[in-house]
Amino acid sequence: MNWQAFMSRPLKLDRLELNLIDLPQRETFKSAVGVRTSRQALILRYYDQAGGYGIAECSCRNDPFYSHEFLKAVEQLITDFVFPGMQHVQTFGDLVKLLNQVRGWPFAKATVLEAICDWWRRTGQGDIIDAWEAPALQRIPVGISLGLFESTQACIERVTREFDQGYQRIKLKIQPGMPAGYLREVRAAFPEQPIGVDANGSFGEADMAELVQLEALQLLMIEQPFAPDRLDLTAKLKRQAPGLNLCLDEAVSGEGHLFTAQTLGSIDELNLKPGRVGGPLNVVRLTELCRQFKIPVWIGGMFETGIGRSANLRIAARFPQAIGHDLSPSSRYFLEDIVHEPPIMDANGTIALPTDSPSVHEANLNKYRVHQNVLKKG
């Protein structure tokens, strides 16, 4: 079946359930966008009139430091602008049109659309991603994203440990003014291994020379060196250091950004986060566009729980050329998950493609819930 056939399917909304949860982390994570000790997420459930449901995770942060979207604002957007219109929507295609009227807010839109896709899966109505493309991989290679370290030594020890765990590639967070030679020493300790870096847009024009020096390290990639709207600087960096493999994250939330980046010469590969681009339909569109432009793609993460990780793994299975996706198992980060049997990684750094939607751990969902809001169709 063609994925477009899902557009004419009727929706049977009874209510939306919004759950804000706060999951304790095993350890503190530090990056250029902040320090975090627990992970908040919005878990959206779509209930039909027969008691069936679909569930999705809104993976944006609870602050506006990665993107403008933050969890409380997403809740308000869904409550005030999506749910009222959703009450009158007949088909999935109508819902897509309704969401398209909202400017921006891809993480919010992705959550609503993914909840419907999960509802189809849970109620035996098929999967839009399966309809788009047959699975290519039964086991998906994953990498790990590591925060900023206090010292080069601490970083090297940790990287050693993570490669030993089996991770297929390692991504290190960086920010301007890191001690000179820091990355050079890490590279010297792991001369051949696949190591990339992620700046989360923290560098500016004045830091160009610092970035150009990274060319010699033959990193797997450098992710989002400059602010999302500074594709001009990214292109300039590429001209000055052609050997740097430029990966975009924050800068691409839709097809237009990809066209612009490609035209300017600001992109070599894409970290595709289903939430950041507005959900499964845009994942399909952007993937097709990347194929046209011959831009390699891998799937990124936002430290999702088992809910979001499972959804992203289904997508990642369709990118057989990727070295490793940012889909390390959630048990890596969290003491407990809100699903039973969250995805686990083997010694080769791969995770099995989930066959079904994850089983929701209701007790943990209750335990870690900060608040709940139910929007009933009137």
Q: From the list 202, 287, 305, 328, which residue makes contact with ligand OSB (rule: CB under 6 A)?
A: 328
Q: From the list 303, 319, 334, 368, which residue makes contact with ligand OSB (rule: CB under 6 A)?
A: 303
The verdict on 269 binding ligand OSB (CB under 6 A) reads no
Residue nearest to ligand OSB (CB): 301
The verdict on 300 binding ligand OSB (CB under 6 A) reads yes
Nearer to Mg ion, 69 or 223 (CB): 223
Q: Which does 129 bind (CB under 5 to 8 A by kind): ligand OSB, Mg ion, none?
A: none
Residues whose CB falls within 8 Å of the CB of residue 4, separated by 6 or more in sequence, listed in order: none
Stretch that binds ligand OSB, among 108-116, 158-166, 301-309, 344-352 (CB under 6 A): 301-309
Q: Which does 66 bind (CB under 5 to 8 A by kind): Mg ion, ligand OSB, none?
A: ligand OSB
The verdict on 301 binding ligand OSB (CB under 6 A) reads yes
Nearer to ligand OSB, 300 or 306 (CB): 300
User: Three-state secondary structure along the chain?
Assistant: CCHHHHHHCECCEEEEEEEEEEEEEEEEEEECCEEEEEEEEEEEEEEECCCCEEEEEECCCCCCCCCCCCHHHHHHHHHHHHHHHHCCCCEHHHHHHHHHCCCCCHHHHHHHHHHHHHHHHHCCCCCHHHHHCCCCCCEEEECEEECCCCCHHHHHHHHHHHHHHCCCCEEEECCCCCCCCHHHHHHHHCCCCCEEEECCCCECHHHHHHHHHHHHHCCCCEECCECCCCHHHHHHHHHHCCCCCEEECCCCCCHHHHHHHHHHCCCCEEEECCCCCCCHHHHHHHHHHHHHHCCCEEECCCCCCHHHHHHHHHHHCCCCCCCCECCCCHHHCECCCCECCCCCECCCCEEECCCCCCCECHHHHHHCEEEEEEEECC
Q: From the list 162, 198, 207, 269, which residue makes contact with Mg ion (rule: CB under 5 A)?
A: 198
Q: Which does 326 bind (CB under 5 to 8 A by kind): Mg ion, ligand OSB, none?
A: ligand OSB
Using CB under 5 A, count the residues that bind Mg ion.
3
Q: From the list 57, 118, 127, 198, which residue makes contact with ligand OSB (rule: CB under 6 A)?
A: 198
Residue at token pair 């509802």: 119
The verdict on 66 binding ligand OSB (CB under 6 A) reads yes
Q: From the list 200, 234, 253, 357, which residue makes contact with ligand OSB (rule: CB under 6 A)?
A: 200
Stretch that binds ligand OSB, among 161-169, 228-236, 299-307, 342-350 (CB under 6 A): 299-307
Stretch that binds Mg ion, among 20-28, 66-74, 197-205, 257-265 (CB under 5 A): 197-205
Q: From the list 57, 114, 249, 269, which residue makes contact with Mg ion (rule: CB under 5 A)?
A: 249
The verdict on 145 binding ligand OSB (CB under 6 A) reads yes
Binding site for Mg ion (CB under 5 A): 198, 223, 249
Binding site for ligand OSB (CB under 6 A): 66, 145, 198, 200, 249, 300-303, 326, 328
